[in-house]
Chain A
């Protein structure tokens, strides 16, 4: 037992010490694996970024109420009275006699994207006074809050970055009205940062919505109060609504896009991985065949086939590990925090997000690289251990 472990160390040291001699082919296999890992981590980080934007949109104790049957705020509609009744339901947090709830409207306007100059559907949200308290982490980074009743707007940091004419001091033209931007806000990531906010009555007028709303966002006293709140609303015969926690709602909103990108990214990574396995196999077979005599000599000296297999495998695993680290590192440097925007399929409005190269993704990339290295090294290793000694020594 002890002997074979020493043998493994000796042979492995031997083969790794000879790596520089095969620099070209080793490097190409390594870079190949790095390319696969970089693409995989890069594509999946888009999906991660969208997911984390959606996740940070949801407050822990927050709920959203829509009309029954609606799956997004865009398609929902609530009468003014109905919306008021919802804010009076039991379980909503209070501050003095104020309920922490906001009746909201959700529409879009067209603004050109900075990157392409073509129009994008920018989400505009009409909100009530408590909206900033319903969103955890809401903070004005520039300017001030809009004045209730005035044609003034505040914009999220994502919207300001992605769209032309949405910075502090600019004016949005909405139909025949001019809405000056008086503030810029952030919400610690999240979908709201892609939005433009305006006082709800102002938006109702501009879009001829009478006194109707589309959703009610509220913070509950505690997350546990959800059932009580939901039961009170769904059993009320005066309304016909759908009650969800924000976590549920945003998860549903991002599922389609997340699954599409993850599915596609995984498929591409698997096909590319297959290509990299072929490349690694080629490199390792070449490595083994250039060392045929060396390996045969070792075996003639009494080294068993086990250590030989381990030495070839560990060489290919080492190359794969280096490739994986390089690829994951490249993806991390190039993509982490990279800002992008896309169309939220559920509401057909723009959402901004940051690519998210997180630790699990990096580990996933390196594990994938090691798998490529394992399969790429296994068969050459077995071949090396099986070469008949006499025959191999006679070769060359």
Chain B
């Protein structure tokens, strides 16, 4: 306790310097938290991808459609529990910049395959009873302030209705929440029966299949078995685990993880210089005092602890406030106004942040602390 009041006493001596150091540490941790959320947004879905789900798409590319008849053949493959087809709708709501994913699905199969989309009984019934109905994520609903019963007009250059009209109108029938943090709630699901009947061409063709397997450990084996079924057919397939599929998509955007880690590294290096230098300066300034402490009976270790303790107090205050501020900024919403599928600081990053607080405190404080520890009383007092 006496120790702690000594530390606080020292920090209060040059209030301005302490405040500035704390402020620069706050900045570092705000950036750390915020960039963590941005990385999570770009890699959205990888952590929550179902280990028991595979994605089967056309081998040539995702834009090449496949016959719906593949479904029955996929379900016959050993190890496959169930499968469902999906089709990219790709329409525009008012402006192209209002982009969000619209996917055409079989409603019952979607609800069965994706337990992470939580839909109330009432909403489920309403969606199953409304042919033009869509299921939308909570994030999407909040972004455009849509609620159940609203009509949503969507222009689609890719799929027009019979007669050539590219304008579609859907009814918001149900809203889903994510069962856990990190579930993408920015999507819209359209009913296949309505879509297939209304579209002007391409009946019976679908985009890709989601396949649930019995045993996640056999994923690679089952994927190969599925692709073999369609080998040498006009529509060869490529099957991979859902996580790998999403990771592959993220990889295409560039090495977001690497870029963000580099930036965070540069930030911490910078702050380390500032904080470490300040600590060193304040120790040099107080050499006389530290010598007196030693003269009155403080051990070498005690003085070391005192200086490290100061460093720790500064970084804990700065880091704590910084992480809290980052949390508040992220909770206030994403910078694009809702275009990112998820926006939150993953728990893992928060824990890493706490760990970094201690690492930073140690590295910034250890050199001045060693200097204080090695101080010869007689020499120091003579200065």
Contact = CB atoms under 8 A, between A and B. Distances in A.
A345 B17 CA distance: 46
Nearest to A267: B335
Contacts of B161: none
Given A110-B59, A110-B60, A272 B273 contact: no
Contacts of B34: 271
B17 A286 contact: yes
A271 B31 contact: yes
B232 interface: yes
A110 B238 contact: yes
A70 to B, nearest CB: 4
Contacts of B276: 28
Interface in B62-120: 62-64, 90, 92, 96-97, 99
A118 B17 contact: no
Contacts of A268: 31, 35, 263
Given A29-B274, A268-B263, A70 B251 contact: no
A274 B232 CA distance: 61
A67 interface: yes
Interface stretch (A32-40, A137-145, A293-301, A314-322): A32-40
Given A71-B157, A176-B232, A276 B166 contact: no
Contacts of B17: 282, 285-286
B277 A24 contact: yes
Interface stretch (B19-27, B141-149, B221-229, B302-310): B19-27
Contacts of B30: 271
B270 A31 contact: yes
Interface stretch (A94-102, A256-264, A357-365): A256-264
B253 interface: yes
A252 to B, nearest CB: 8
A118 B249 CA distance: 8
B248 A278 contact: no
A110 B64 CA distance: 11
Contact of B271 (A175, A263, A275): A275
Contact of A39 (B23, B254, B263): B263
Nearest to B254: A342
A279 interface: yes
A109 B60 CA distance: 5
Contacts of B281: 24-25, 286
B62 A175 contact: no
Nearest to B24: A278
B129 to A, nearest CB: 32
B45 to A, nearest CB: 15
A59 interface: no
Nearest to A281: B20
Contacts of B270: 31-32, 35-36, 272, 275-276, 279
Which size class do B's interface residues fall under?
A: 35 or more
A343 B252 contact: yes
A35 B269 contact: yes
B351 to A, nearest CB: 22
A219 B348 CA distance: 54
Nearest to A257: B253
Contacts of B64: 107, 207
Interface in A26-54: 28-29, 31-32, 35-36, 38-39, 43
Contacts of A121: 61-63, 252
Nearest to A69: B157
Contacts of B31: 268, 271-272, 275
A272 B247 CA distance: 30
A47 B382 CA distance: 59
B267 interface: yes
A38 B24 contact: no
Contacts of B20: 278-279, 281-282, 285
Contacts of B266: 35, 38-39
A74 B157 CA distance: 10
Contacts of A285: 16-17, 20
A258 to B, nearest CB: 12
Most buried by B among A36, A76, A264, A268: A268
Given A25-B281, A38-B266, A39-B263, A256 B97 contact: yes
Contacts of A115: 255
B38 interface: yes
B158 to A, nearest CB: 5
A333 interface: no
A272 B353 CA distance: 17
A175 B252 contact: no
Contact of A274 (B27, B251, B252, B335): B27
Residue picked from B271, B277, B278, most chain A C-beta under 10 Å: B277
Contact of B278 (A110, A282, A348): A282
A346 B157 CA distance: 13
A264 B252 contact: no
A232 interface: no
A191 interface: no
A113 interface: yes
25 contacts: A24-B277, A25-B281, A31-B270, A35-B267, A35-B270, A39-B263, A43-B263, A75-B157, A110-B60, A118-B252, A120-B248, A121-B61, A175-B59, A207-B64, A268-B35, A271-B27, A272-B270, A275-B23, A278-B20, A278-B21, A279-B271, A282-B274, A282-B278, A341-B252, A342-B254
The list of the 4 closest CB pairs from A to B, nearest first, reads: A275-B27, A279-B274, A118-B248, A278-B24
Interface of B: 16-17, 20-21, 23-24, 27-28, 30-31, 34-35, 38, 59-64, 90, 92, 96-97, 99, 155, 157-158, 166, 232, 234, 236, 238, 244, 247-249, 251-255, 259, 263, 266-267, 269-271, 273-274, 276-278, 280-281, 335-336
Interface of A: 24-25, 28-29, 31-32, 35-36, 38-39, 43, 67, 69-71, 74-77, 107-110, 113, 115-116, 118-121, 174-176, 207, 256, 260, 263-264, 267-268, 271-272, 274-276, 278-279, 281-283, 285-286, 340-343, 345-346, 348, 350
Given A35-B270, A268-B31, A346-B96, 8 more contacts: A69-B166, A107-B61, A118-B252, A175-B236, A264-B335, A271-B27, A272-B31, A279-B20
